[in-house]
Chain A
């Protein structure tokens, strides 16, 4: 067996195996969440996924980043064809395996990839500039300091390197082909005729010897492969994981009206019992009844699996935070931080549980150690963050569940709200007016 085939297979298998292991971990973590039924209305779900994730519908409310992002996204999707060829060539020790069989279509496809790659290159530079030179406010907020900013820049740099590899590979091969020295068909002089590399190849690489070009071509080829495998394995640790989860996350979107908050069935049964005149208050609890659940959420395990998938899908773009009325007016709340905290806490807890067993309690929680009460009480439940999210993440549902825990389990309610709640309970209105006076307005002038 050829040594390069062996090397290729080992590298590729290791890369894919490690990636699979990390995917398993993420799946394990998401499954730590509570169950939630989201498999109904399959057609509507599919439609939502196609429009929002595949079609990027919600991105286009901000056209500039939408177009830049579209360039990267389309280039990324189409480049997979070239990657397929790299894998085929690697395993079979071939050189441009698809060219002979696809002929003109091959030239078209690679040319298309090259044009998209140029656009992606420009977009990536623009993204780097927006982050680091123009310092766009939403990309430079408090919660972005440190790792999140590094993560974002690393991804963009990875992408630049990947694109440089593609053009090195195709450009040098073009020059070699023109000299009759390409491994594609040695001895034959010709041109691949690709849209970009057939011009920039000779421009950049004409001065080099065949030997140097052969090495550069291989560096481009292996570089591409290493970058792809590296990138793949970087994804599970990065905000960039959205490129995979955007699809299931939009499929499992909330399809109800945004104003509808979930009904807490555990409370319904309690309230029904309270209002039932025939209920026996001293009755022994049903021995087969499940243990009473916690009201609301204190930690990530009290959230639903969809909340947790949301957290892994978040790419920290900050559209939510930049539209949040509380954040705009200087309050502590940032919906993006809610999602980032949820993910950070989930990663921490998942790691601890895998190390120390499923019932392990590390004494920390999402509420308190990550998210403060002040953040939660700043929310107006206006749904701007939910509406903004390009991948249908719902930060509001986490905020509400954490509030529920504060109020119902800990009785930690801002004092003015205690008054409001007491009034509702006593006289059926948030203010101190008698219920008997509800129709007085009809007789007032």
Chain B
């Protein structure tokens, strides 16, 4: 797969239009890596001039900050900002709402000012500008798809429409869960919960959320966050619905529909 790094580009004296911030999940988690690849396929197909940092990328520090460890967060942030500023990065796209939120909202105060967009916003823009065409008889035509709002995309940053408009572009039937948009229920992974066992309770949050999704009778649970993807996939497994309900990222849906 063709993925230029910033270092390669710089060696060639080139400067990409946009940096793709892959994130830790997108780099290491087997499920999330598929999302990363789907997005790269889209970017390559649309001939977007992009690059990744590769081994120069490091955790944004988001889970450390949410866990209350501002030291670890700021160490990470300042190291990343040094790298990003050295490459004179202006614009960043990422498929992880946690990275998106941190880069967009929290890096500026530490000297990292970039235009940061979520991959759903970027894909929407590519389609709107006619750069990406979806096949007429797409594989999702008429299918029921529900969208699970990632907290760090929705409530945290007020991005609700881009992913939904993309689902509609698939000619699919967008069905909403009873709790959606600003009232969307968390998948249970935010605030560093992804990395610990849940506190004592009577139910797992992802089970509660997956039930919302199953109630819609959707065949696909679409989301835009690698953590949400993990949590919802686990929830579907728990409900023994793997055969009938798929959990897919918006990038995967689009790459699939564009037959990439």
Contacts and interface: CB of A to CB of B under 8 A. Distances in A.
B195 A441 contact: no
Interface in A386-445: 386-387, 400, 403-408, 413-414, 416-417, 419-421, 424-425, 428-431, 433, 435-444
Interface string A164-185: 0000000000000000000000
B66 A387 contact: no
Nearest to B186: A382
B68 A259 contact: no
Contacts of B185: 323, 325, 328, 384
Given A378-B201, A407-B69, 14 more contacts: A258-B157, A263-B106, A328-B185, A329-B202, A330-B201, A331-B201, A377-B199, A383-B156, A384-B151, A387-B155, A417-B195, A420-B192, A429-B27, A435-B57
A153 to B, nearest CB: 29
B46 interface: no
Given A382-B155, A383-B151, A260 B195 contact: no
Contacts of B207: 329
Interface in B163-204: 182-183, 185-186, 188-204
A301 to B, nearest CB: 19
B78 interface: yes
B58 A428 contact: yes
Interface residues of B, number: 72
Interface stretch (A13-21, A266-274, A308-316): A266-274
Contacts of A257: 101, 104-105, 156-158
Nearest to A409: B68
Contacts of B85: none
A258 B155 contact: yes
Given A264-B70, A380-B190, A421-B64, A441 B33 contact: yes
B52 A325 contact: no
7 closest Cβ contacts across the A-B interface? A259-B156, A381-B191, A330-B202, A428-B58, A403-B68, A382-B186, A330-B201
B27 A439 contact: yes
Interface string A315-337: 00000000101101111110000
Contact of A433 (B28, B197, B200, B201): B28
A431 B195 CA distance: 9
A331 to B, nearest CB: 4
Tier of interface size on chain A: 35 or more
B28 A404 contact: no
A329 B55 contact: no
A33 interface: no
Given A329-B201, A330-B202, A330-B203, A421 B72 contact: yes
27 contacts: A260-B105, A267-B74, A328-B205, A329-B207, A330-B200, A330-B203, A331-B198, A374-B200, A378-B199, A380-B189, A380-B191, A384-B151, A387-B155, A403-B67, A416-B197, A417-B192, A417-B196, A424-B63, A424-B72, A428-B58, A435-B55, A435-B57, A438-B22, A440-B27, A441-B37, A442-B3, A442-B40
Contacts of B58: 428-429, 435
A77 interface: no
B72 A425 contact: yes
Given A325-B185, A380-B188, A382-B186, A420 B74 contact: no
A407 B33 contact: no
Contacts of B196: 377, 414, 416-417, 420
A331 B205 CA distance: 10
Contacts of A288: none
A296 interface: yes
Interface in B115-158: 151-152, 155-158
A408 B28 contact: no
Nearest to A399: B191
A135 B66 CA distance: 36
The prevalent SS among residues of A at the interface is helix
Interface string A246-276: 0000000000111111011001101110110
Nearest to A434: B55
B24 interface: yes
Contacts of B3: 439, 442
B36 interface: yes
Contacts of A331: 198-201
A295 interface: yes
B243 interface: no
A442 B28 CA distance: 11
A407 B70 CA distance: 9
Interface in B72-119: 72, 74-76, 78-79, 101, 104-106, 109-110
B157 A259 contact: yes
A424 B203 contact: no
Contact of B151 (A256, A382, A407, A441): A382
A325 B186 contact: yes
Contacts of A424: 59, 61, 63-64, 72, 76
A379 interface: yes
Nearest to A275: B78
A400 B183 contact: no
A101 interface: no
Given A420-B195, A439-B3, A407 B67 contact: yes
A271 B101 contact: no
Contacts of A437: 27-28, 55
Nearest to A400: B68
A256 B65 CA distance: 17
Contacts of B189: 380
B1 interface: yes
A209 interface: no
Given A430-B63, A430-B195, A380 B33 contact: no
B64 to A, nearest CB: 6
A39 interface: no
A41 interface: no
A444 B200 CA distance: 39
Q: Give the one of A403, A431, A439 with max B CB within 10 A.
A: A439
Nearest to A412: B68
B190 A444 contact: no
A400 B3 CA distance: 38
Nearest to B191: A381
B15 interface: no
A239 to B, nearest CB: 24
